[in-house]
């Protein structure tokens, strides 16, 4: 029996961009490894192949693990620190990034979560990054063209993994449920893990949906809810600063006061005095 099948592409619009490979490489390190805050004038993609690391990107904190892709858009400040005795990554960098709909030098939206799970693409993406590294190491005929096409393909897969429609009704429902959870539990020890768990999603998948739908990170949203409640208590109650802090989910007054002042440019005490028309001697 003979079976002869043909598959043809449809009329899907093709995004036209061709990045230039700046470098590719590997990192193998122990728990003591760290990299101080810095940024690049190119986009760097890091693929975790062993262990975990703590990553700070524009003051947002992430713990990344095997199978995670970390994207550093051009100009984004970041730092890294390994958390395990054995930590390794594959990485590459590209410039000349002009992707329609995104800022120049970006492979993901600036307000999107920069960490994404490879999921079912894990083995394949790891293999093509290894192939890119081989091309740049061996430098056989046409290696630049091949490595450029590999980088382009990897970028397309990142775009596929980030393909979240803002107007997706399911995503709106997820964000509404998450907001309800935050508003009902902000007085307790709420974390990204507990919020994501409440809507039955992985942390990074939830962050991506929340930020792309509402334009704000879940933790910044939690901060706004807590500060709004704190302002109401400061203006309308005689609770001490310590009791206000406890009432809106902070373990101590010092942390609450620091967060409040960093956000509002005024201390809780001065805010209360201003609202009530008091003057300090």
The per-residue pLDDT of the chain, averaged, comes to 89
Query: 0.85 cut: is pTM over it?
Result: no
Q: Has residue 56 got a pLDDT over 50?
A: yes
Q: What is the pLDDT of residue 214?
A: 79
Nearest to 45 by CA among 115, 113, 139: 115
* Tokens 């904190």 sit on residue: 61
pLDDT confidence of residue 241: 94
Residue 179's pLDDT is 94
Pairing between β-strand 60-64 and β-strand 53-57 as defined by DSSP bridges: antiparallel
State the pLDDT at residue 52: 95
H or E segment at 240?
A: none
Predicted local confidence at residue 164, as pLDDT:
40
- The average pLDDT across 29-47 equals 93
Percent of the chain residues past pLDDT 70, beyond the cut: 94
Give pLDDT tens digits for 228-248: 999 999 999 999 999 999 999
Element (H, E) at 68: strand 68-72
Give φ, ψ of 21 to 5 degrees.
Answer: -75, 125
Give the end-to-end CA distance of the chain in Å, rounded to a whole number. 97
List of domains in the chain: 20-161 (2.60.120.280), 169-216 (1.10.10), 228-276 (1.10.10.60)
């Amino acid at each position: 029996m003979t079976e002869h099948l043909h598959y043809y592409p449809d009329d899907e619009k093709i995004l036209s961009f061709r990045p230039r490979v700046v470098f590719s490489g590997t990192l193998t390190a122990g728990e003591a490894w760290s990299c101080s805050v810095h940024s690049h004038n190119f986009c760097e993609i890091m693929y975790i192949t062993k262990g975990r690391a703590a990553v700070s990107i524009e003051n947002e904190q992430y713990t990344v693990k095997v199978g995670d892709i970390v994207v550093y858009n051009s100009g984004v400040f970041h730092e890294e620190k390994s958390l395990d005795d054995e930590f390794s990554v594959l990485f590459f960098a590209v410039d000349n990034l002009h992707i329609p709909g995104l800022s120049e030098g970006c492979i993901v939206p600036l307000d999107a979560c920069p960490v994404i799970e490879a999921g079912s693409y894990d083995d394949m993406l790891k293999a093509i990054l290894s192939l890119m590294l081989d091309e740049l190491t061996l430098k056989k005929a046409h290696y630049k063209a091949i490595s450029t096409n590999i980088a382009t393909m990897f970028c397309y897969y990142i775009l596929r993994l980030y393909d979240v429609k803002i107007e997706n009704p399911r995503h709106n429902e997820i964000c509404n449920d998450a907001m309800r959870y935050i508003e009902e539990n902000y007085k307790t020890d709420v974390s990204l893990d507990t919020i994501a768990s409440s809507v039955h999603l992985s942390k990074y998948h939830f962050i991506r949906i929340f930020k792309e739908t509402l334009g704000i990170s879940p933790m910044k949203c939690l901060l706004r809810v807590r500060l709004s409640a704190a302002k109401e208590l400061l203006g309308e109650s005689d609770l001490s600063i310590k009791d206000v802090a406890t009432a809106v989910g902070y373990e101590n007054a010092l942390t609450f006061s620091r967060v409040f002042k960093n956000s509002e440019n005024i201390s809780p005490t001065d805010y209360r005095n201003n609202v009530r028309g008091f003057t300090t001697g």
